């Protein structure tokens, strides 16, 4: 079993990020509670329709999911929490890539295509930011829950949200077929883009209401694919990410996702992240060649960039001997140098 730090040594480490989350919760939950008392007054008695407007006016198609009943919102939060728990269990305790792929596919179908990618934790970053600076802005409790849950999970188990729950990660994960290695210095340099994007998105989100913009949602490259609609250029950008993603593992996740920046910061303090341990693995380096995300350095998974996808376990001869799920025969792998591993 992978060794993990005791709770006694871990609690001081997670105290900082945990406290930050609690402050965020306090900061945003006030306006959210106040939201229930706000009376909505419709500014006009009769809304214009296609008939009253005339001249062949056609109402544009709504490009965002319609509001959901409270019960369904609660169901989404419960499903997200359950999926995070299952992802952590499969990645860290069971170490089963096959079941992680099944979870990834299920979450892509539900949170991606069925729920149309909205509201998602990535976009909720903007709602939470606005609520922190503008106390007239009410953010629903379930949006707060969607924002916080993956971060709390990251504090305990690393980026398990990216492992098998996030639909944006899932659609890229399933496209990785012939990954090439990105030079490490280039990989690290591109990794700064997600912080720049996060800063830009927060800047536009906290502008006065009249100028405010949610750029993460506006320029989400995959949400149009989930909804089978959207601006043509954005659909092409999403498609380009997927095509590039055949050869370069998860480009959006690694270099652009603003919520991924937060997750990497929180997973730095993770109590029990995904690990490659000499006590359980062969420590031969095959896993390093198998990771399409450059997330293994010196034969250890880097907790800030590891997506807990489980691909490296599939390349491990020891893991293969324990489970039937490796795609490469153990004898074949054991005789190969790391460079030749899949």
Contacts with ligand SF4, residue ranges (CB under 6 A): 122, 161-162, 166, 168-169, 252-253, 257, 259-260, 263, 274, 291, 293, 295-296, 301, 306-312
The CA-atom distances, in angstroms, between 110 and each of 52, 88, 167, 245 are 38, 19, 8, 22
Tell me how far apart the terminal alpha carbons of the chain are, to the nearest angstrom. Answer: 25
The single residue listed with the structure tokens 């005339």 is 54
The single residue listed with the structure tokens 């979450």 is 107
31 closest CA partner among 127, 151, 150? 127
- Cβ atoms of residues 107 and 166 within 8 Å: yes
Which residue's Cβ has the minimum distance to ligand SF4?
169
267 closest CA partner among 144, 111, 92? 92
190 closest CA partner among 248, 124, 149? 248
CB of 120 to ligand SF4, least distance (A): 8
CB of 273 to ligand SF4, least distance (A): 9
HSE at residue 280, side-chain half, CA atoms within 13 A, is: 18
> Measured between alpha carbons, how far is 286 from 195 in angstroms, rounded to an integer?
31
330 closest CA partner among 338, 342, 320? 320
> Measured between alpha carbons, how far is 40 from 307 in angstroms, rounded to an integer?
43
Is the Cβ of residue 138 or residue 154 nearer to ligand SF4 in the bound state?
154
Q: Taking the CA atoms of the chain, what radius of gyration do you get in angstroms?
A: 22
Is the Cβ of residue 139 or residue 168 nearer to ligand SF4 in the bound state?
168
Is the Cβ of residue 31 or residue 305 nearer to ligand SF4 in the bound state?
305
Which of 20-26's residues contact partners 24+ apart within 8 Å by CB, and which partners? 21/148, 21/151, 21/152, 21/155, 24/128, 24/132, 24/148, 25/144, 25/148
What three-state secondary structure class fits 118?
Answer: coil
> Measured between alpha carbons, how far is 244 from 172 in angstroms, rounded to an integer?
10
Is the Cβ of residue 18 or residue 342 nearer to ligand SF4 in the bound state?
342
CB of 172 to ligand SF4, least distance (A): 7
CB of 112 to ligand SF4, least distance (A): 11
- Cβ atoms of residues 87 and 308 within 8 Å: yes
Is the Cβ of residue 142 or residue 241 nearer to ligand SF4 in the bound state?
241
CB of 212 to ligand SF4, least distance (A): 22
Is the Cβ of residue 17 or residue 260 nearer to ligand SF4 in the bound state?
260
Is the Cβ of residue 130 or residue 257 nearer to ligand SF4 in the bound state?
257
Is the Cβ of residue 213 or residue 297 nearer to ligand SF4 in the bound state?
297
Is the Cβ of residue 139 or residue 290 nearer to ligand SF4 in the bound state?
290
CB of 33 to ligand SF4, least distance (A): 28
CB of 293 to ligand SF4, least distance (A): 4
CB of 30 to ligand SF4, least distance (A): 27
CB of 60 to ligand SF4, least distance (A): 28
Question: Which helix H or strand E contains 101, and what residues bound it?
Answer: helix 97-107
């Amino acid at each position: 079993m992978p060794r993990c730090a005791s709770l006694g040594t871990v609690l001081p480490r997670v105290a900082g990020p945990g406290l930050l989350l609690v402050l965020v919760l306090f900061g945003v939950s006030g306006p959210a509670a106040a939201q229930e008392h706000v009376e909505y007054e419709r500014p006009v008695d009769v809304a214009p329709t296609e008939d009253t407007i005339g001249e062949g006016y056609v109402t544009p198609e709504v490009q965002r999911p319609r509001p959901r009943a409270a019960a369904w919102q609660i169901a989404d939060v419960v499903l997200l929490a359950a999926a995070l728990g299952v992802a952590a269990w499969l990645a860290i305790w069971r170490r089963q890539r096959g079941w992680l792929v099944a979870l990834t596919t299920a979450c892509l179908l539900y949170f991606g295509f069925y729920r149309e990618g909205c509201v998602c934790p990535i976009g909720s970053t903007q709602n939470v930011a606005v609520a922190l600076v503008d106390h007239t802005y009410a953010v629903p409790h379930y949006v707060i829950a969607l924002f916080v849950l993956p971060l709390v999970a990251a504090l305990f188990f690393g980026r398990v949200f990216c492992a098998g729950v996030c639909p944006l990660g899932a659609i890229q994960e399933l496209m990785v077929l012939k990954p090439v290695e990105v030079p490490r210095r280039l990989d690290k340099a591109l990794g700064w883009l997600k912080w720049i994007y996060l800063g830009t998105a927060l800047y536009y989100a906290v502008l006065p209401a009249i100028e405010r913009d949610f750029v993460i949602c506006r320029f989400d490259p995959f949400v149009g694919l989930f909804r089978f609609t959207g601006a043509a250029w954005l659909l092409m950008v999403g498609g380009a990410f997927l095509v590039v993603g055949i050869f370069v593992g998860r480009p959006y996740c690694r270099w652009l996702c603003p919520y991924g920046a937060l997750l990497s910061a929180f997973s730095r303090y993770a109590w029990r992240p995904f690990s490659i341990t000499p006590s359980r693995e062969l420590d031969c380096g095959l896993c390093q060649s198998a990771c399409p995300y450059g997330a293994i350095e010196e034969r250890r998974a880097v907790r800030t960039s590891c997506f807990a996808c489980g691909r490296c376990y599939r390349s491990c001869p020891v893991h293969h001997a324990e489970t039937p799920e490796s795609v490469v025969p153990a004898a074949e792998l054991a005789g190969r140098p790391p460079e030749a591993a899949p």
